[in-house]
Amino acid sequence: MIRTGTKFRIASLAAAAVLMVGACSGSTGSSPAASSAASAAASTAPAGSSGAAAPSAAAASTNGSCASAPSATTLNLGISGPFTGPNALTGTEMKNAADMALDAINWQIGPYKINPVYIDDQSDPAKGAAAYEQAVVGQHITASILGWHSSVAVAQMDMTAKYQIPHYFSMGATGVVNQKFTSDKAKYGYWLKGWPDPAKLTVGYVQAINDAIAAGSYKPAQKTAAIWGEDTDLGRSFGAAMKQQLTQAGWTIASEDYFPITQTDFSALASRYQSQNIALLAGTSTIPASISAFLKALSDAGSKSLVIADGLGWIGDWYKLSGSASDYVLDQVPKFATAKAQQFATDYQAKYGSKPSPSAAGLSYDWTNYFIKIAQQTLADQCEITSAALYKETQDKVWTGQLTYTDGIIMPEYDFSPDTIPDPVVGKGHFIFPVLQYRGGEGTVVWPQDVAQGTLQQQP
């Protein structure tokens, strides 16, 4: 997508011309942050980073197209996530998976040695924004990747706009990010999402329930539903989408209940749902301890409600926390379906001693590899990797759908289009989650029907 406005187009073309001339004459950096990144010393040596790797094919191609290749330098790459705090389990999976992707290229892109700068948001928007700013000012990152919480993403967008640092594939899904992005693409265009607006995925739950009612495997006594979830941008975006879509499908919404992300006592809420005889409970929580406590409270109250607990399976060892309280719960989680994906899961568990989740670990692995591809292509096309060069490559080839990633372990293809940015393309063959129903810690795909392994079942 190209931003409109005659003056802007002329200025953008002029700036691009200057950038390309500078790049192909061996210039190293087009912004203060990028220039600092080129000269900054590595502050955190990654495991397995010693020794120079052979240049990638993309980097090698620059030797024939550029007047001179950039001299060997360090690329400080921000890796964002909740590495400590209430969601440290998820953050650990994200960090480990990103490290595995970077290990595979020996932390090297052409002459650039990648130095990781781990941005710990602690599941807190203010702390996440402050940590991001420190990564820019103190450690001179050229670009950044990943992230988990929606509220953190909304806060960090201001930092990427302020310092003009491209950030790739935050999994903060809330539609608030989309609204902020589209309100001023010149300012907030540095942000790309790694998880689409919840409204684009929640339709799967409603369709799965409709199909089960039609098939007779789910017979609610009355079509009453309650919306529940963490009191965050994600929780409320998910809740709003579910409320709208369920209402359109003929359900009556009895209540909406949002709670702090650290809450673990749900006995009163579970008792109220039980006394109201609510047929369907739909919500999300990103904190493993909180979502598992919610399900256990429902089980203790004797609830027979059908529960949508979006995100229960976002960490690999979720069943250790929830146990049998997760039986018959619906969730949207991809699977390690291919031999390549299963090998990743095996390698991850052998290296780190825990099971990875396809969501936190699998997606982080794929998104990191997509960033590597973008950086390699930037070097090939523009003869250097700077903040400005990455941003131009992203606008020219990622926004337009020309540069995609098809070698992942979770989705068949990761791609964007002018109609979807900042979201990835959603749909069959692109970014899509199946609806699972859990029994005994295993998930059975119940939607879409063409890949379903079973039919949604009512709790006995």
Domain assignment present for residue 217? The answer is yes
Count of Cβ atoms closer than 10 Å to residue 264 Cβ? 16
Helix (H) or strand (E) holding 247: helix 233-248
Each residue of 9-27: pLDDT tens digit?
A: 333 333 333 333 333 333 3
Residues 151, 273, single domain; the answer is no
Strand ranges across the sheet with 112-120: 108-109, 112-120, 73-81, 143-146, 167-170, 191-193
State how far the Cα of 82 lies from the Cα of 289, in Å rounded to an integer.
14
pLDDT at 56: 40
- 296 and 443 inside one domain: yes
pLDDT value, residue 434: 94
pLDDT at res. 376: 98
Which residues, 6+ apart, have CB-to-CB distance to 437 below 8 Å? 328, 329, 330, 443, 444, 446, 454, 456, 457
CB contact at 8 A, 310 and 238: yes
User: Does residue 2 surpass a pLDDT of 70?
Assistant: no
Are 257 and 380 in a shared domain? Answer: no
Nearest to 145 by CA among 198, 195, 89, 194: 194
Higher pLDDT, 84 or 68: 84
- If you count DSSP H runs as helices and E runs as strands, how many of each does the chain have, helices first? 16, 13
Identify any residues that bridge with 120 across adjacent strands, giving them in sequence order.
81
Tell me, yes or no, whether 248 lies in a domain: yes
Percent of the chain with pLDDT over 90: 81
Question: In angstroms, how far is CA 424 from the centroid of its own chain?
Answer: 10
The chain-wide mean pLDDT, for the chain, equals 87
Q: Residue 302 gets which letter from DSSP? A: T
Indicate the DSSP class of residue 276: H
The maximal CA–CA distance of the chain, rounded, in angstroms, is 75
Note the pLDDT of residue 71: 74
Shared-domain flag, residues 203 and 193: no
Tell me the residue range of the domain where 185 lies.
6-198+339-398
Which string of DSSP letters, residue by residue, matches 381-423? HHSS--HHHHHHHIIIIITTTSS-B---SSSS-B---TTTTTS
* Residue 389 belongs to a domain: yes
In the predicted structure, residue 274 carries a pLDDT above the cut 90: yes
**Domain shared by 130 and 214, yes or no:** no
Q: What is the distance in angstroms between the CA of the first residue and the CA of the last residue of the chain?
A: 51
Rounded Cα–Cα distance for residues 229 and 226 (Å): 10
Separation between Cα atoms, residue 64 and residue 87, nearest integer Å:
47
Q: What is the mean pLDDT of residues 75-79?
A: 98
3-state per-residue secondary structure call for 327-389:
CCCEEECCCCCCHHHHHHHHHHHHHHCCCCCHHHHHHHHHHHHHHHHHHHHHHHHHCCCCHHH
Answer whether residue 407 is part of any domain: no
**At what angle are helices 125-137 and 150-163 packed, to 10 degrees?**
30
pLDDT band with cut points at 50, 70 and 90 for residue 65: low
Q: Give 191-207 pLDDT, tens digit per residue.
A: 999 999 999 999 999 99
| Shared domain check, 314 and 252 | yes
The pLDDT, as a whole number, for residue 47 is 35
Q: Are residues 322 and 248 in the same domain?
A: yes
Rounded Cα gap, residues 224 and 216, in angstroms: 18
Residue 292 per-residue DSSP state: H
Q: Are 351 and 210 in the same domain?
A: no
* Digit-coded pLDDT (tens) for 357-413: 999 999 999 999 999 999 999 999 999 999 999 999 999 999 999 999 999 999 999
CB atoms within 10 A of CB 72: 11
**Bridge-based pairing state of the strands 435-439 and 442-447:** antiparallel
What's 323's DSSP letter? G
The answer to whether residue 343 is domain-embedded is: yes
Contact between 315 and 288 (Cβ < 8 Å): yes
249 and 383 share a domain? no
Q: What pLDDT band is residue 451 in, cutting at 50, 70 and 90?
A: confident
Q: Which residues contact 357 (CB under 8 A, 6 or more apart)?
A: 90, 93, 313, 314, 315, 316, 318, 333
124-176 confidence digits (pLDDT tens) = 999 999 999 999 999 999 999 999 999 999 999 999 999 999 999 999 999 99
pLDDT at 35: 36
Q: 375 lies in a domain?
A: yes
**Domain annotation covers residue 121:** yes
The CATH number assigned to the domain holding 220 equals 3.40.50.2300
pLDDT category of residue 28 using cuts at 50, 70 and 90: very low
**Are 26 and 159 in a shared domain?**
yes
Rg (C-alpha) for the chain, rounded Å, is: 23
pLDDT digits 0-9 by tens, 278-334: 999 999 999 999 999 999 999 999 999 999 999 999 988 899 999 999 999 999 999
Q: Identify whether residues 246 and 295 lie together within a single domain.
A: yes
In a domain, 460, yes or no: no
182 near 3, Cβ under 8 Å? no
pTM: 0.82
> Of 26-35, 48-57, 357-366, which has the strongest mean pLDDT?
357-366
Write down the residue that tokens 């059908």 correspond to: 306
pLDDT above 70 for 38:
no
Could you tell me if 191 and 205 lie in one domain? Answer: no
Cβ neighbors of 421 (< 8 A, separation 6 or more) are 1, 181, 192, 399
Return the closest-CA partner of residue 307 out of 316, 317, 296, 319. Answer: 296
Q: What pLDDT was estimated at residue 205?
A: 96
Total structural domains within the chain? 2
Q: DSSP string covering 50-92, please?
A: -SPPPPPHHHHHHHHHSSSPPPSEEEEEEEEE--SSTTHHHHH
